Amino acid sequence: MRRTVRFLLNDREFSLEGFDPTLTLLDWLRNERRLVGTKEGCAEGDCGACTVLIGRLRNRELRYEAINACIRFVATLDACHIVTVEHLKKASGGLHPVQQAMVELHGSQCGFCTPGIVMSLTALWLGAAQAPSRERIEEALAGNLCRCTGYGPIISALDRAYEIEASSADSLNVGRAEVARKLAGLADREVIEISEGGRRLFAPATADQFAELTAAHPDATLVAGATDVGLWITKMLMRPATVIALGRIGELDRIEDKGDHLVIGALVSVSDARAALGGLDPQIDELIRRFGSEQVRNAGTIGGNVANGSPIGDSPPVLIALGASVILRRGSERRTVPLEQFFIAYKKQDRQPGDFVEALIVPKPRPGTLFHVSKISKRFDEDISAVCAAFRLERDEAGLTTNAVLAFGGMAATPKRAAAAEAALAGRAFDAQAAEAAALALASDFKPLDDWRASARYRSTVAANLIRRFQAETATGSVHRVAGILRSDAHA
């Protein structure tokens, strides 16, 4: 047992013990380190003013990712390199190319969102040798709200940054090997326990340690990226007595390709899962691109998105459509539950105290399978679904439907299949009449809610239209989207 969390902050090493186990990184930076360049705009991971970089060793390679400091717990940052905006300036006092470009192109007005935007752009700049496309920049900025500029000069600034000087001069690249060496030195296999005032956080290093801890503390709050649990602390003012963090468990942070299916560990971030899941279909890739924001995808996990059982999570409908199951582990026992059966009622899952989601099994669609994924939200990027739909349809040689899975989020208290609509498609050709029958049958599958995201009528209308769209796309052999990377140029 280790009672300290050890990490690098900019150019200093820290070893902290005995502090609030759910202390957020943002509060620590601002209140205790007085590093006030990192701002609080919303304290819920939506505005990006608190964006910092987290460097971690992955397969011995040091990788930096942007995350929201406002909903990340300091206690979960063992063996990480935390980089704040104060670290970007060169030793000479000169601005980093990204900073310089932002100044030159008038990329700041009130300036409050600016440090966060600089960090998001810097993450992109570090990870790409050449200026990324406008779409990629917009994707990376989806989690950075700016109320002043209209974003134009910010998007242009990244192009300009690449003209300013080679990346070798930047402070993060200069000390890279040294940082990697230090981080490697900090990693160990001890369970970390951080406690204060009777509350504690455990950060085990192995899955077995984790299983032991969850069995011993069945009421503990389990946390991976804290993109949901972080809000319990900052918004609901909850103060859980025991938290167990998965963040150090490398063996859960793996994706295995088993030929006809993928096994995705519970700690795989949404960003990392994108490559594997997105490779199954461009529509899945687009869905994941629109999952939260880059900062949220870098911290949040597919496992967590499933485990928290939200009716509006973005991943469950598509995972259900793919026929995914979840591996639940308690102690050394494991059981596999089809995902659609895992969601029992609103925020209630087939997960007993002591159970944890260890991995997801995701079958790959067979060749010839028809597939459709749509996320409908008020705003295209960084929004929560009004309706999320994922459809999979298999047909026999005669073209008759043998298996139809129509999975929806936002339509009921859980992510759910549309049984009546599926039945309407079964055993017949997938033509406009069949789609119409399924669209009409939806009315008996769902009685959605009115809320601030959408009215029940809108949800019902759109859900039905998406089935019509699926059929039209099948008939035309093209994907119909008004925005995003799937948008065809036919109407551009």
Partner 1 sequence: MHKPVFAANRDQVTGGVYQSTRHDSGHKHVAGEALYIDDMPEPAGLLHAALGLSHCAHGLIKEIDLSAVKDSPGVELVLTAADIPGVNDISPSNHHDDPVFAEGKVMFWGQPIFAVIARTRNEARLAAAKARITYEELPAVLDIAAARKNGQDFVAEPMSLNRGDLDAAMAAAPRRIKRSMNLGGQEHFYLESHIALAVPGEDGDVTVYSSTQHPSEIQHAVAHVLGVPSNAITCEIRRMGGGFGGKETQGNIFAAIAALAARRTGQAVKLRPDRDDDMVATGKRHDFVIDYEVGFDDEGHILAVDILFAARCGFSADLSGPVTDRALFHADNAYFYPAVRLNAQPWRTHTVSNTAFRGFGGPQGVVGAERLIEEVAYATGKDPLEIRKLNFYGGPGRDLTPYHQTVEADLSAEIIAKLEESSDYQARRAEIRAENLRENARGGPFRRGIALTPVKFGISFTNSWQNQAGALVNVYTDGSVSVNHGGTEMGQGLYIKVAQVVAQAFQIDLDMVKITPTTTAKVPNTSPTAASSGTDLNGMAALNACNNIKERMIAYAVEKHGVPADQVEFLPGRVRVGNREIEWPDFVKEVYSNRIQLSSSGFYRTPDIHWDRKAGRGRAFYYYSYGAAASEVTIDTLTGEYRVERVDILHDVGSSLNPAIDIGQIEGGFVQGMGWLTTEELWWDDKGRLRTHAPSTYKIPVASDRPRIFNIELLNKPNHMPSIHRSKAVGEPPLVLPISVLHALSDAVASIGDYKIFPDLDAPATPERVLFAVEAMRARVRERNGSHG
Strand 261-265 vs strand 356-363: parallel, antiparallel, or unpaired?
antiparallel
Measured CA to CA, the distance from residue 309 to residue 265 in angstroms comes to: 17
Phi, psi at 68, each rounded to 5°: -90, 115
How would you classify residue 292: left for phi > 0, otherwise alpha for psi between -120 and 50, otherwise beta?
left
CB 106 within 8 A of CB 87: no
Measured CA to CA, the distance from residue 107 to residue 341 in angstroms comes to: 49
Binding range to partner 1, per CB under 8 A, among 32-40, 219-227, 303-311, 317-325: 32-40
Considering the rule CB under 8 A, would residue 115 count as an interface residue with partner 1? Answer: yes
Report, in Å, the least distance between residue 52 CB and partner 1: 11
Determine which residue in the list 76, 227, 283, 374 makes contact with partner 1, applying CB under 8 A: 374
Determine which residue in the list 54, 77, 145, 322 makes contact with partner 1, applying CB under 8 A: 145
Question: Would you say 357 or 467 has its CB closer to partner 1?
Answer: 467
Considering the rule CB under 8 A, would residue 53 count as an interface residue with partner 1? Answer: no
Considering the rule CB under 8 A, would residue 146 count as an interface residue with partner 1? Answer: yes
Considering the rule CB under 8 A, would residue 69 count as an interface residue with partner 1? Answer: no
Determine which residue in the list 71, 75, 124, 154 makes contact with partner 1, applying CB under 8 A: 154
Site for partner 1 in 234-253 (CB under 8 A): 234-235, 237, 239
Angle between helices 152-164 and 114-127 (to 10 degrees): 50
3-state secondary structure of 311: coil
Report, in Å, the least distance between residue 465 CB and partner 1: 4
Binding range to partner 1, per CB under 8 A, among 160-168, 207-215, 280-288, 461-469: 461-469
Considering the rule CB under 8 A, would residue 40 count as an interface residue with partner 1? Answer: yes
Site for partner 1 in 386-425 (CB under 8 A): 386
Determine which residue in the list 51, 68, 76, 114 makes contact with partner 1, applying CB under 8 A: 114
Considering the rule CB under 8 A, would residue 297 count as an interface residue with partner 1? Answer: no
Question: Would you say 99 or 271 has its CB closer to partner 1?
Answer: 99
3-state secondary structure of 121: helix
Taking the CA atoms of residue 227, residue 231, residue 234 and residue 238 in that order, the dihedral angle to the nearest 10 degrees is -120
Determine which residue in the list 384, 413, 420, 479 makes contact with partner 1, applying CB under 8 A: 384
CA torsion sign for 347, 351, 352, 355 is negative
Phi, psi at 128, each rounded to 5°: -135, 130
Concatenated DSSP letters for 414-455?
S-EE-HHHHHHHTTSB-SHHHHHHHHHHHHHH--PPP-SS--
Considering the rule CB under 8 A, would residue 487 count as an interface residue with partner 1? Answer: yes
Question: Would you say 36 or 429 has its CB closer to partner 1?
Answer: 36
CB 307 within 8 A of CB 222: yes
Binding range to partner 1, per CB under 8 A, among 272-280, 301-309, 404-412, 447-455: 447-455
Cβ–Cβ contacts within 10 Å for residue 31, how many? Answer: 12
Considering the rule CB under 8 A, would residue 378 count as an interface residue with partner 1? Answer: yes
